[in-house]
Amino acid sequence: MYTLLYGLYKYMVQKDEFCVLILGLDNAGKTTYLEAAKTKFTKNYKEMHPSKITTTVGLNIGKIDVAGIRLNFWDLGGQVELQSLWDKYYAESHALIYIVDTSDRERIPDSKETFDKMISSESLTGVPLLVLANKQDIPDCMGVRDVKPIFNKNAHLIGRRDCMVMPVSALNGDGINEGIMWLVDCIKRNIDIRPPRDQDNT
> Which residue ranges make up the annotated binding site for GTP?
24-31, 78, 134-137
* 176 and 36 Cβ atoms separated by less than 8 Å: yes
User: How far, in Å, CA of 69 to CA of 15, rounded?
Assistant: 5
> What are the residue numbers of the active site?
79
What are the phi and psi torsion angles at 191 (to 5°)?
-65, -25
Burial of 150 (0-12, 13-18, 19+ CB in 10 A): middle
